[in-house]
Structures are given as structure tokens and as C-alpha cells.
Structure 1
Amino acid sequence: MEETDTVRSFEQAFRCSLALYCPGRYAVRLREAGKGQLVPHSLVEAPNEDQLHVFGGNQVRAMGHAVEELALHSEGGELIVLFPDLDAFSPLRERYAQLAKKPCRVRVWAPGTPPKRCSKIDFVVSVHPRLAKYRLYLFSGVGRSALVCCKQLGRAKGNGEREPLACQERYVGFCSFDPYVVESVRWRFNLLSCGLEKLVRHWEGFFPLPTPPLRAINDFVKSQWMRTSGVFGGLS
């Protein structure tokens, strides 16, 4: 399948998934503003390939669902998904069991005890703690390649501590359908199963995801919300 067909299939699945997770939600596309600083550029309904965006948590889940759909309708390949823990995997257990019945290798990365009766799913439970902030959905198949790679952002509390954005989760990341990019991430990510700190740092350095200023992002989203009278719905 041509790359453009893969992109079209992904976008179609993403829009369908987005309607289930967070209708009317947009992502913020970023741009460089000199000296490597990233600032908000525009709101986009579907992410632009190989460009950095800030997503809401439900948008990341919708993109992950789209990658799963590509795997489900492919003739074989490998699906790699990184969850923060196996509790996050539990609601998707039946879906992944269905994926594992396809001629597709399914690898789930998440700390915890693997559930029973999932023998066809390859669980990697020795996950380095530094990977907990990342979300990864990767499919490498026959004529189809897709990748969603994001890093969770945080914000400062009044007492100076940091906390996750909970229901207002924010992630910075990108999606790609370039087979070279997908294979590069897949190869390097699979090396992390040994859990060595040096390899984790190497992986983070190879595909560095910056930390854009959340205040600027939130102010931008708020300004767009006021300009459109709340029509666009913000990030979710």
C-alpha cells in the first residue's frame, strides 16, 4: 500500500475515533520561533505528519485507536504499544486479543502482572520508570507503517510541586507514516527491553520531544475558544 493510502486510512480511522473520544476537539500545531523555542502556530483537527503538536489525552487515545485499526485491517506485521501500566490496558484487553488473532505480532509494554488468557500477546513488563511519561503506538506491516509518539507534560502547582494534568492531560508529540522513521523507532525501542539506563537515554536522545511552555499553549487555546465562542471545543 502506498504511503498516501496509509495516511488516508489513518486519518479516516482517527476522525472516527475522535468522534467517540472527544468530538469537536483540536490539537495545537507548534512552530519554531528562533533559538529552538516552540510556540503555538495553529489549531488542527487532524495532526500534520512529522510535525510537533500538543494534544489532549483523549486525542492521543484516538490516534492510538487509529493505529490499532490499521493493524486490524492489515495482512500482518508488528504492533507495539506502550501503556503507563497494565490497568490502562485492561479495558482494551478484548480488542488486543482480537488483534493478536490476526497474523500480527502484538507487543504490549506496561509494568505489572500480565493478565491470564492472553497467551498470544507478548507482554514486556520490565519497563524503565523513565518511560512512564511516554505514549507509543507503532505498527509496522506489509505496505503500512504508522507511529504515534508522545510525551506527557506537567504543570507547576502552587507549592512548586509538579503534577500530571489529570483530566486536562497534555502531550507533546508527533505521528509519522514514513517507513524509515517507524522502523528506526521500532528497532531502538525494542532494545529497551533490557532496561539499561544508557539505552533509555540513547532512545530519548535520538527522538527528543521538547517541553513547550504550557502557559503559552493554554493561553492560545483559551484565545481561540473565546474567538470562536467555544465552537472548537479546546483540547481533550
Structure 2
Amino acid sequence: MIVATRQEDQTRKRFERKLKPYLEAGIQRALPVRRSTGKKTVTLGEMVAIPAHDITHVFNNEAMLAISHAIEDLAAEVREGELLATFQKMENFQYQRKRYAGLSRDLDAVRVWASGRPPARAGKIDFVPIFRKELERYWVVLFASPHAHAVLVCRQANEAQRFGDKIFTGFYSFNPFLVESIRRHFNLISCGLDGLVAGWEREFQMPSISLRDIQRLLDAPAEARAA
């Protein structure tokens, strides 16, 4: 990011403390995406245990969930602000229902996007139906408050239906200007301005990854992860 703020550095340190327990508990795999100068093709770097912020990576579902949970824990620590999360389908949210119901008691707003019928009882959560198929491919977790900003933006890169087999391309950031821009996009889309979906896909376009590179991530043994 060209513009950096003091808040970004403070939030990053708080986030890293929240992320550490999740990295110790599972097998997270992430590969940084490298764009070739003047070419449309991309290549993948060496596997990393902790993906860097503001750099596009290919994530397995465990790496993506670890970052998601660290942002949620950051929101729980701050105890004010707005948390926005897209779960693709409502069945994915059911596993996090209790967690998000608790967050909704402490935060100013918790908004969950997903296709399907929302649960009858889930605290003070606002449910937003996904009405455009394109948005079902995204997994976004965003937290915005006066004291901290964080966002994870991922797009599913393969066609897997089972959540454990899904691979995502995306990035995370603590830049408050970027976070507020993404929050504004989703809040306007939730008002029915579906013309903004095309703009969203254009502005946050993710690189296309080959099936071979996706398989490389799936097949890599845990010990192959680099520090």
C-alpha cells in the first residue's frame, strides 16, 4: 500500500497476536501470487506459513479461516464497530452461528451475507441475501471501527462444493481507506444497487490460477510449508 497510517501498524500487531493460535492449530497453506510484468499470466511463489498483508495469495480453506477468525477476534476485543461477513451459503454460517451471535451483542452491527434461509434465532445479526450468483464465489470478512480496520477479500478459485476442498485467491489488509471503500460497496449493494456488482468484480479482480497450481497447493505436505 502506498498510504500507510499509524492505525494500520497498531491493528496489524493486534491481528498477529490473534492469528497465532489458529496457525498452531491447523494446516494452513498459502502461496503468494506473482504477476509477470507486461503479461497476463501469474506464477506462485514458495509456500508460506503466515501470508503477508496487502499481497494476493492462494489460500486453502484453513488458511482463509484462520485469517477470518483473527479478524473476528480483533472485533471482539475492540467491542465496537461493524463486522461484515459473506459465507457463500447459509450452511457455512451455521458452524459460526454461536460465535457471530456473541459478536452481535458487543458490536454496533453484524451483517452476514449468504444464500439460503437464515436461522430463526441468531442474536442481533442482520442477514443479507446474496441475490447475484457472482457474489457466491466471494468470502469477505470486514471489520470497521474508529480504532481498527481489517478486511479479508477472497474469491473461490476452484469449483469444489465441499468446503474443505475449496481454494481461494485473495488478500487481507488493515488500510482504513480500502476497508471503508469495500464496506461502502457492500452496503450499497445490500440496498438493491446490483449494478455495483460488476464494478466490484472489476475493481477487485482476482488473478486466474491454473488447475495445476491449485493442485500443487492441495497436494503439498504439511512439512513443505516455509517460514
What TM-score do the two structures reach when normalised by structure 2? 0.87
1:164 aligns with 2:167: no
Deviations along 1:139-162, whole A, 9 cap, x unmatched?
A: 0012200000000012xxxxxxxx
State how far apart, in whole Å, the 2-side matches of 1:78 and 1:134 are. 19
Deviations along 1:78-131, whole A, 9 cap, x unmatched?
A: 000001121111121111111011033100111222212325111112432211
The corresponding residue for 1:39 is 43
State how far apart, in whole Å, the 2-side matches of 1:194 and 1:183 are. 17
| Structure 2 residue ranges without an equivalent (≥5) | 1-5
The amino acid that maps onto 1:8 is K
The amino acid that maps onto 1:15 is K
1:153 aligns with 2:157: yes
State how far apart, in whole Å, the 1-side matches of 2:217 and 2:36 are. 15
The corresponding residue for 2:94 is 90
RMSD: 2.2
Give the deviation of 1:165 after TM superposition: 6.6
The corresponding residue for 1:189 is 186
Kept in 2: contact 1:79–1:139 (CA 8 A) = yes
Which deviates more, 176-185 or 9-18?
Answer: 9-18
Alignment of 1:16-95 (within 5 A): 16-20=21-25, 22-23=26-27, 25-34=28-37, 35-95=39-99
Deviations along 1:198-233, whole A, 9 cap, x unmatched?
A: 2211111111112122313534776x75xxxx5136
Kept in 1: contact 2:98–2:122 (CA 8 A) = no
Kept in 1: contact 2:83–2:141 (CA 8 A) = yes
State how far apart, in whole Å, the 1-side matches of 2:49 and 2:166 are. 18
- Percent of pairs with identical residues: 35
1:231 aligns with 2:223: yes
The amino acid that maps onto 2:173 is S
The corresponding residue for 2:3 is none
- Specify whether residues 202 and 125 from structure 1 end up closer, same or farther in structure 2 by C-alpha distance, changes over 3 A only: same
The amino acid that maps onto 2:223 is V
The amino acid that maps onto 2:155 is K
Q: 1:2 aligns with which of 7, 13, 21?
A: 7
What TM-score do the two structures reach when normalised by structure 1? 0.84
* Larger radius of gyration between Structure 1 and Structure 2: 1
Q: Number of matched residues? A: 219
The amino acid that maps onto 2:101 is A
The amino acid that maps onto 2:12 is V
Deviations along 1:38-83, whole A, 9 cap, x unmatched?
A: 1012222112111110000121111111110011000410000001
Kept in 2: contact 1:78–1:140 (CA 8 A) = yes
| Structure 1 residue ranges without an equivalent (≥5) | 155-162
- Specify whether residues 111 and 54 from structure 1 end up closer, same or farther in structure 2 by C-alpha distance, changes over 3 A only: same
Q: 1:198 aligns with which of 195, 199, 219?
A: 195
The amino acid that maps onto 1:9 is R
